[in-house]
Homo-oligomer: A and B are copies of this chain.
Amino acid sequence: MKDFQVPKRVLLGPGPSPVDDRILRALSQPLLGHLDPLFLEIMDEIQVLLRKVFETKNRLTIPISGTGSAGMEASLINVLEPGDKAVVCIHGVFGERMFDIVGRTGAEPTAVRAEWGRPVDVNQIEDALKQTRPRVLAIVHAETSTGVLQNLKGLSELANRYGALLVVDAVTSLGGHPVSVDANGIDVCYSGTQKCLACPPGLSPITFSDRAVERIRARGHKVQSWYLDMSMIEKYWGSDRSYHHTAPISMNYALLEALRIVQEEGLEARWARHELNHRAFVTGIEAMGLSMLVAPGSRLWSLNAVSIPEGVDDQKLRTHLLEHQSIEIGGGLGPLKGKVWRVGLMGAGSTRENVVLALGAIHDALKAQGYDCPSGVANAERVYDRGEQATGG
């Protein structure tokens, strides 16, 4: 009976991101029952730490027992009912996904679109709100498919003015960028564990404002999903502790350990680390003569979309990185397929060591295809050496 083993990849794609050994050890702890007093304590601590990372006081803050897309679904279907209207901002795969989910609730979605690679225009959002007076305004904070960071400032005032709840996808930002649920007036916010929280995929942290909870209480119809019905799930995570479904015990161990690590580092320090490594990476990429898909000011620190130069074979380069250096980077999705690489510098993967490694490896892999360009490594190193706070490997 040989043991199950997989090689250690350098995960610099759109997620999962690399996971600290501490978290893997937590994951492999013996099982507890889902109503064991010790597990209930673990749940309590997870809630406390999730509130810290979301920067919220929201009581209803829990991990959904599914990946980020389950959180997306839970966030929309619990506050929308058949006949409701929703404005959905679309500037990538995940906005499209929100739009699809809204349609399945029996609500009527209105799309506000931006070109993939650009943020959504606030004036267009306001026009759509004015026209439709929707129940919900849904927007992706960190578009994993394009690397765009959407500025959240002012959105809650807009949403409030037209009577809408603000639903925000923070899958690729939570723990790497400020999300600041309360300060930004977000009503429903969800994330995934496998990005900047640096935990394996399988859970989706989610938080509902009191206003969103009131909306849930005022529903006229049952939520279309039993599995994701917050009115029942909150009884297990609340003081009732009444059984809903069996929680994914081991994944909750991992999440708790991941949240403790975030706490130990501190949110500000973590954001600064993500920003610095992003800046060094972009400096290196541009020194190589390559360009970023997204304009400065709208770039995610956690997900870097690099335009693929003319004449370079996308798949061949990514296979080269994987086979020669065991490095994973992501390809483009939808209209960006073959046009960008998505380089994730997320969670434990956002390090100086990985930036230098990725820049060197991409340079080598380009060379292997006969594409000649300068190396960007020294330029990236200078960003770190410029007296700025370096980050551990």
Interface residues of A (CB under 8 A from B): 1, 3-9, 11, 13, 15-19, 22, 24-34, 36-38, 42, 65-70, 72-73, 97, 100-101, 103-105, 192, 194, 200-202, 222-228, 243-251, 253-254, 256-257, 260, 264, 322, 328, 333
Stoichiometry (number of copies): 2
With the chains together, A194 CA to B65 CA distance in Å?
Answer: 14
Cβ-neighbour of A65 out of B202, B246, B247 (below 8 A)? B202
Which B residues lie within 8 Å of A18 (CB)? 30-31
A200-B31, A249-B200 known; A6 and B38 CB under 8 Å? yes
B66 touches A227 (CB 8 A): yes
29 A–B pairs (Cβ distance < 8 Å), ordered by A: A3-B22, A4-B22, A4-B253, A4-B260, A5-B29, A6-B38, A7-B30, A7-B38, A11-B31, A13-B33, A16-B32, A16-B249, A18-B30, A27-B27, A27-B250, A33-B328, A36-B322, A66-B227, A67-B247, A69-B227, A69-B245, A70-B245, A73-B225, A104-B222, A104-B226, A200-B251, A201-B247, A201-B250, A250-B250
With the chains together, A10 CA to B30 CA distance in Å?
Answer: 10
With the chains together, A243 CA to B333 CA distance in Å?
Answer: 9
A67-B246, A249-B201, A251-B202 known; A28 and B24 CB under 8 Å? yes
Query: Mostly helix, strand, loop or mixed at chain A's interface?
Result: loop
Cβ-neighbour of A6 out of B5, B24, B32, B223 (below 8 A)? B32
A104-B224, A202-B248, A246-B15 known; A4 and B25 CB under 8 Å? yes
Ranked 4 nearest A-B pairs via Cβ: A202-B248, A28-B28, A4-B26, A69-B245
B264 touches A1 (CB 8 A): yes
Which B residues lie within 8 Å of A97 (CB)? 226
A256 touches B4 (CB 8 A): yes
- Which has the most chain B C-beta neighbours within 10 Å: A31, A243, A248, A333? A31
B6 touches A33 (CB 8 A): no
Which B residues lie within 8 Å of A104 (CB)? 222-226
